[in-house]
Amino acid sequence: MSDDLVLKTEELTKHYGGVHALVGANFEMKKGEHVAIMGDNGAGKSTFVRQITGVEQRTSGKVWLYGDEVNFAGPLDAREAGIETVFQTLALADDLDVPDNLFLGREKTFANWLGPFRLLDYKGMRNDTIAGLERTGVKIPNIRNSIRNMSGGQRQCVAIARTATFASKLTIMDEPTAALGVQETAQVENIIHTLKEAGEPLILVSHNMRQVMELVDRIVVFRRGRMVANLRKEDTDGQDVVAYITGAKTGAEFEGAA
Amino acid sequence: MSDTSHGTGGLTFDKTKRSWPNEMNILLALIIIIVIFEILGQILPYMRDQSFLFDSKDRFDSIFNEARLKIIILQVAIIGIIALGVTQVIITAGIDLSSGPLVAATAMIAMSFGQTELVNGFPNPKALFGTWAMDLPVIVPIVAGLAFGAFIGAINGTFIAFLRIPPFIATLGMFLICRGIALWWSGGNPISFPTASYKFIGSGMMPVVWFLSLAVIFHLIMRYTVYGKHTYAIGSNEEAARMSGINVKRHKVMVYTIASMLAAFAGIVLASKSETAQAGMGEFYELFAIAMAVIGGISLQGGRGSIIGTVLGAMVLGVIRSGFTYIKLDGSYQLMAMGSIIIAAIVLDQYRQRNKA
């Protein structure tokens, strides 16, 4: 495979018992590209994301990241390989503050010989958090506040700042604005623009057609567990995408798939 | 209530203050309770102007009624040790009901390796094993007890984390099993007459020393180590913890193991303090330990609370118990009042949570 591919999947498949949630997904994305994944509820979007991020183990198929074949045993593996994910269900611990959440599961520590009782480097994590927030333009009044006391938009920004703080090879956002108000959505979209300018590749799972058309380069449509379309933004419009989502149309190269 | 500068408010990164800690509320409650008892001591007709915590006998050497202070903290020290472990379990949104019977079982096991061979020149009348188990160094009963606690805790944790048995059920089963083990170990007979060195670890104010040193250690662990952070994270949002790469199952096993080791240590100290071990020991200890944590602001929903809170919760329980005795209130009222206080603490926690959401 060529070197400018960030991610490639081949015949990626996931069955939950008898349910074929994802069947034979062949997906590719290039460096610096922002790709949207669209589809109805239960079309396999989140399932696809969970296989790439190691949250679940795929039934079959192969995944390459920057040309290397990868088999993630868990989400931490994927993260160590450089895939940062903002999950649909906010993966934040409500009772912890912002630095704690940013560094959850990869705390900066010292005295590491103490094993599970190794000491937390609170100061280092706070400084990195502030730097990360500044880089993404996320504004939070007090980073020592527990997440519980923050608005939905701020929480989402924390989740996104987490991905941006750790210079990642691939960012995945699973419906990042689904639960947000207009102003908060705009804030998140701004961050996505920032990532685009910085050349950071992004997979955006979204139901929001306006958002997708505005933010991404390419749209991939899933329907009933299968990829049914792969459209460049210039070659399509909202109506066209909807036709693929609902099943009125199926992409030429995917004929016979769905 | 939280501030109103949410959203795209000013860039105020220098503001890294933490908010008013919940522990201050419990401290305040503790002080209020003490004041109430002081006032009652002054106004109740049969009290004759005694003071609750201050020295009322005009002695020059102290301001406080040291005897009462000592009793208050000594009374809660052993259950307090259990509460330190229960706190960690509750922070993961779990519960441990097995600690009371575990105290009894561990007391039996530890004491059976901590007996002295000769009592006043005669063979130990309560000897469980032969002479090989007599006059062993004190490390033997301690290690035996802690190992048993670790074993029980690891089983609790394994069933809860890997087999997904609800903590309430798993530890309820273990509650009965441990009480059974305590009875079976010596066939129901008490085990008595510890060696001098084993007698020492529970003598005098030693339980308080253990309680407070362990409290300091676990306070530091919960606040400054990865173990503590992950414990809070799991209780706060287990799914998020898992997605962040924390090995939730292994961590839970560790938490339950540590909690049971603390309960086991309480049993070791209790047997030493009582100079005997009996299968019926530690009755209701698990509930009082949970009560201390709950009064101390540890949320049963998990994720919130601290060791300092639990220590204060233990003090509240101790002060209330001692205060009721001080105003000569019958034991039956004490139980009713304590029950009410526990319920009030939970109601308050729910209320606080709803207000914050």
- Structural domain of B242: 78-282+299-306
pLDDT of residue B12: 41
DSSP B68-89: HHHHHHHHHHHHHHHHHHHHHH
What is the maximum alpha-carbon separation in chain B?
A: 81
Burial tier of A79 (Cβ tally within 10 Å: 0-12, 13-18, 19+): buried
The pLDDT tens digits for A160-201 are 888 777 767 899 998 888 878 887 788 888 888 888 888 889
Whether B356 maps to a domain, the answer reads: no
Chain B hits for A114, CB-CB cut-off 8 Å, are: 225
ipTM of the complex: 0.80
Chain B hits for A118, CB-CB cut-off 8 Å, are: 225-226
CA nearest neighbour of B263 among B279, B282, B249, B276: B282
Whether B61 maps to a domain, the answer reads: no
Distance CA B195, CA B354 (A): 54
Half-sphere exposure of B59 (CA within 13 A, CB side): 10
* Cβ atoms < 10 Å from Cβ of A107: 20
A54 vs B: CB within 8 A: no
pLDDT band at B6 (very low <50, low <70, confident <90, very high): very low
A142 vs B: CB within 8 A: yes
> Is it the case that residue A247 has pLDDT exceeding 50?
yes
Whether B340 maps to a domain, the answer reads: no
Whether B317 maps to a domain, the answer reads: no
| Beta bridge mates, A68 | A65
Distance CA A60, CA B46 (A): 82
Asked whether B131 and B117 are in contact (CB, 8 A), the reply is: yes
The pLDDT tens digits for B213-254 are 999 999 999 999 999 999 999 999 998 898 888 999 999 999
Whether B217 maps to a domain, the answer reads: yes
**CA-based nearest residue in chain A for residue B239:** A91
Distance CA A6, CA A12 (A): 16
For the residues B34-45, what does the mean pLDDT come to? 87
pLDDT of residue B242: 87
Segments making up each domain of chain A, as ranges: 5-254
> Is it the case that residue A239 has pLDDT exceeding 60?
yes
Least confident of B49-53, B129-133, B281-285: B49-53
Asked whether A53 and A37 are in contact (CB, 8 A), the reply is: no
Residue of higher predicted confidence among B332 and B83: B83
Asked whether B100 and B287 are in contact (CB, 8 A), the reply is: yes
Return residues 187-246 of A near B (CB < 8 Å): 187
pLDDT of residue A256: 57
The pLDDT tens digits for A131-145 are 888 877 777 888 888
Mean pLDDT, chain B, as a whole number?
89
Asked whether B120 and B306 are in contact (CB, 8 A), the reply is: no
> Is it the case that residue A41 has pLDDT exceeding 90?
no
**Residue of A55, A85, A96, A157 best to disrupt the B interface, most CBs of B under 10 A:** A96
Distance CA B264, CA B354 (A): 37
Our CA-based measurement puts residue A170 at a distance from the nearest CA of chain B, in whole angstroms, of 16
| Beta bridge mates, A172 | A85, A203
B347 vs A: CB within 8 A: no
pLDDT band at B144 (very low <50, low <70, confident <90, very high): very high
Whether B287 maps to a domain, the answer reads: no
**CA-based nearest residue in chain B for residue A50:** B243
Fold of A5-254: Rossmann fold (3.40.50)
Residue at B45: amino acid letter: P
**Residue of B4, B14, B219, B226 best to disrupt the A interface, most CBs of A under 10 A:** B226
| Residues A96, B232: C-beta atoms closer than 8 Å | yes
A185 vs B: CB within 8 A: no
Q: Which residues contact B46 (CB under 8 A, 6 or more apart)?
A: B328
Burial tier of A65 (Cβ tally within 10 Å: 0-12, 13-18, 19+): buried
Distance CA A182, CA A178 (A): 11
pLDDT band at B57 (very low <50, low <70, confident <90, very high): low
pLDDT of residue B3: 39
| Residues A75, B244: C-beta atoms closer than 8 Å | yes
| Residues B243, A142: C-beta atoms closer than 8 Å | no
Q: Which secondary structure element, helix H or strand E, spans residue A101, and what is its range? A: helix A98-102
How many domains are contained in chain B?
Answer: 1
Our CA-based measurement puts residue A242 at a distance from the nearest CA of chain B, in whole angstroms, of 32
Whether B320 maps to a domain, the answer reads: no
pLDDT of residue B186: 92
CA nearest neighbour of B238 among B219, B258, B255: B255
| Residues B12, A93: C-beta atoms closer than 8 Å | no
Whether B182 maps to a domain, the answer reads: yes
Asked whether A218 and A238 are in contact (CB, 8 A), the reply is: no
* DSSP helix, strand, coil percent of chain A (3-state; round to 5): 35, 25, 35
CA nearest neighbour of B276 among B198, B333, B213: B198
**Residue of A79, A80, A85, A95 best to disrupt the B interface, most CBs of B under 10 A:** A95
Our CA-based measurement puts residue B242 at a distance from the nearest CA of chain A, in whole angstroms, of 8
